[in-house]
Amino acid sequence: MSGEEARRQFLEWLCGERRAARLTAAAYGADLAEFLGFLIRHLGAAPSLADLGGLRVADFRAWLTELANIGNSDATRARHLAAVRSFYRFLAKRLGTENAAVSLLRSPRLRRPLPRALSAPAACSIVAEIGEEARTAAAAARDTALFALLYGGGLRIGEALGLTVGEAPLPGREGMLLVRGKGGKERMVPVLPAVRAAVAAWLVHHPDRRQASPLFVGARGKRLAAGVAQRALREFRRLHGLPEHATPHALRHSFATHLLAEGADLRAIQELLGHASLSTTQIYTAVDEAKLMAVWRAAHPRAAA
């Protein structure tokens, strides 16, 4: 049996028995066709089923190296390798052809994408002006308070929307805001006077100020959906020419990035964000380094040399 015939049987099995989505099957088929094309060049002939079983670790590494040399990213190469591994599992279970070498390969290490923060002026403009786009005075006060809390306290959108009226940070209330994060983990977050004032201004319009009521509600009086807040910011950024990554979560990234830029301690930022591990918070140091490098490349006379 040829390698191409084995590929076709694998795709039939993937679509028939595994009921894979059409786009998934198409992606696997293309990745495996590319792999077999490499083997034709590498071996000098179209591979047979026996050839597939006889490939060594060095052969697979040569294939991954070629993918890298033609510009494929780590994520793309990891996807190609996943397709080939699935193919070899099929060969072992259905066609009796095993190859231990493929299990010895390490997937390309994927770099964690850097958080995309907004500039301080852009973040401040959202807080100051987003209410201007609301249809009613109540919605304007609510949106202003919500986005002030996201940027001023570094909250996740779900954390802010999970607050009750009784937990609202208001002027005159002592202490910090208790926030319930992922996994029910609690943390204390300081709240700026301007944020407390914005929340107080929203509560004037709140239709139900009982202690257990949701702090942020929609037009029908129920807890505000995250999609409504996301849509409001999406419309605002289009009208004001902000970048596409201007989202509610970008305000949390901006909170951390701007604190770090002003000299805040990384451990303190970890506590404020509610990260379980410092390594999660350390990614913001990479953001700061990337910004410094960008400034250096733009300004240093020998940067382009």
Could you tell me the CATH number of the domain that includes residue 43?
1.10.150
Instruction: Please indicate, yes or no, if residue 263 is contained in any of the structural domains.
Output: no
Tell me, yes or no, if 245 is annotated catalytic: no
Residues 10 and 68 grouped into a single domain = yes
Residues 46 and 142 grouped into a single domain = no
pLDDT tens digits, one per residue of 84-98: 999 999 999 999 999
- Catalytic residue (one of 7, 77, 80, 156): 156
Instruction: Please indicate, yes or no, if residue 200 is contained in any of the structural domains.
Output: yes
Mean pLDDT of 231-252: 92
The tally of domains found in the chain comes to 2
At residue 288, the pLDDT reads: 57
- Catalytic residue (one of 18, 173, 182, 238): 182
Residue 214 above 90 pLDDT? yes
Tell me, yes or no, if 252 is annotated catalytic: yes
Helices (H), the chain: 3-16, 22-43, 49-54, 57-69, 74-94, 120-129, 137-153, 157-161, 193-203, 226-240, 248-261, 266-273, 278-281, 283-299
pLDDT tens digits, one per residue of 148-163: 999 999 999 999 999 9
Residues 199 and 89 grouped into a single domain = no
Tell me, yes or no, if 240 is annotated catalytic: no
Tell me, yes or no, if 7 is annotated catalytic: no
Tell me, yes or no, if 56 is annotated catalytic: no
Name the pTM for this structure: 0.60
Tell me, yes or no, if 142 is annotated catalytic: no
Residue range of the domain that includes 167: 121-249
Cβ-proximal residues to 292 (8 Å cutoff; 6+ apart), any chain: none
Instruction: Please indicate, yes or no, if residue 231 is contained in any of the structural domains.
Output: yes
- Catalytic residue (one of 7, 77, 258, 275): 275
